[in-house]
Amino acid sequence: MPYTVNACFDKFIQDTVNLVPERTNRARSSRDWLVSQIVNLANQGKIPPLYGLNHIYYGSFARNTKIRPLDDIDMMIIFNAQGCTTTDVSKGEGREYPIFLNNPNAICLPNYCDGTSLNSRKMIEGIKKELAAIPTYFNADIHRNQEAVTLKLNSYEWNFDIIPAFHTTTDFFVIPDGQGSWKGTDPRIDQNRTTSANKDWDNKLLPIIRLMKYWKEIYWGNKVSSYLFENLIIDWANNNKYSRPATYPQIVKSVLEYLQNNIIFDYNDPKGFQGNINDTTIQDRYNLQSIVTNCLSKVNEAIWLEQYYSNESAINKWIEIFKDKFPGYGK
């Protein structure tokens, strides 16, 4: 039973914020099994053959920054281009990378073409058709952004979002752009950025990211993407790695002050492909900033109560901030 503020934060992160370890292990096993089924489909010629590096796990589940509930797991399946080419393989923001079929004997790819142009929507549809036949899955559908196949499971609460991709000679990936063409990405950059920052924080950053994502769901919801939010937290961590706040209250205060100062600005995709990823309006940015300002006043009060009054009163203030799932004093 926690009687200090920091102990309450530890319990809150463990019992409410973090994914349940048993479900995480089960999800990883089901993800790996799905990859094996995709490999089988490729070996049978039902989908195009796979590239040597045949998959990349990405997204918050792969980065270990996912919070409850576990609802989706992302993966990129890398296909062999079989001689296909694009007009330009240099990396750049907002670029389109049309793919052209140069090998009429390529396996499956001609089925997804408009003339000699490989249509990403048709490729997703073709892959969806084959994945839907895997008996473990309740349904296969096209993701709302037209960039992935979503597999819904019969027996588990999570879905899989599967993005087809090709690897370029300049070492990045092209994926569907939702319009039938292809765009650039490289999720390895996100993974390396998170891993590096976490290492600089002696492997203590990931729980902070998850805690603040829980805060985001309460106060900002879907107004700010999880991807943008995570990148802001990583920037905060990089700026504070030599002068780290020592306690969770001080961490929350420091992160919120950083968000307050930076949510009003554009934010460029650290991978170098999407340009500005802060797609909120100017008015929305100031509204989000105001929400942080109001919350910070409560955080400062909670810190004052802990320092000058009592742990119990401070914990009650943290319950007001993080809502009723935050543990009570001695509970």
| Structure confidence by residue, pLDDT tens digits, 46-60 | 999 999 878 999 999
For 7, phi and psi rounded to 5 degrees? -65, -35
Rg of the chain on CA atoms, in Å: 23
| Structural domains in the chain (count) | 2
224 assigned to some structural domain: yes
- Whether residues 74 and 135 share a domain: the answer is yes
- Whether residues 174 and 194 share a domain: the answer is no
- Whether residues 215 and 230 share a domain: the answer is yes
- Whether residues 39 and 136 share a domain: the answer is yes
- Whether residues 38 and 94 share a domain: the answer is yes
Please check whether residue 147 is in contact with residue 177, taking contact to mean a CB–CB distance below 8 angstroms: yes
This prediction's pTM: 0.96
Tell me the sheet residues that pair with 72.
Answer: 159
Element (H, E) at 53: strand 50-58
- Whether residues 249 and 170 share a domain: the answer is no
For 248, phi and psi rounded to 5 degrees? -60, -40
pLDDT by position in tens, the chain (length 331): 889 999 999 999 999 999 999 999 999 999 999 999 999 999 999 999 999 878 999 999 999 999 999 999 999 999 999 999 999 899 999 999 999 999 999 999 999 999 999 999 999 999 999 999 888 776 889 887 889 999 998 888 999 999 999 999 999 999 999 999 999 999 999 999 999 999 999 999 999 999 999 999 999 999 999 999 999 999 999 999 999 999 999 999 999 999 999 999 999 999 999 999 999 999 999 999 999 999 999 999 999 999 999 999 999 999 999 999 999 999 8
What's the CATH number where 72 sits? 3.30.460.90
Helices (H) and strands (E) in the chain, counts: 10, 11
Please check whether residue 313 is in contact with residue 301, taking contact to mean a CB–CB distance below 8 angstroms: no
Neighbours of 77 (CB within 10 A): 23
Question: Residues 80-135: pLDDT tens digits?
Answer: 999 999 998 999 999 999 999 999 999 999 999 999 999 999 999 999 999 998 88
Structural domain that includes position 196: 190-322
330 assigned to some structural domain: no
The residue among 179, 147, 178, 144 whose CA lies nearest residue 164 is 147
166 assigned to some structural domain: yes
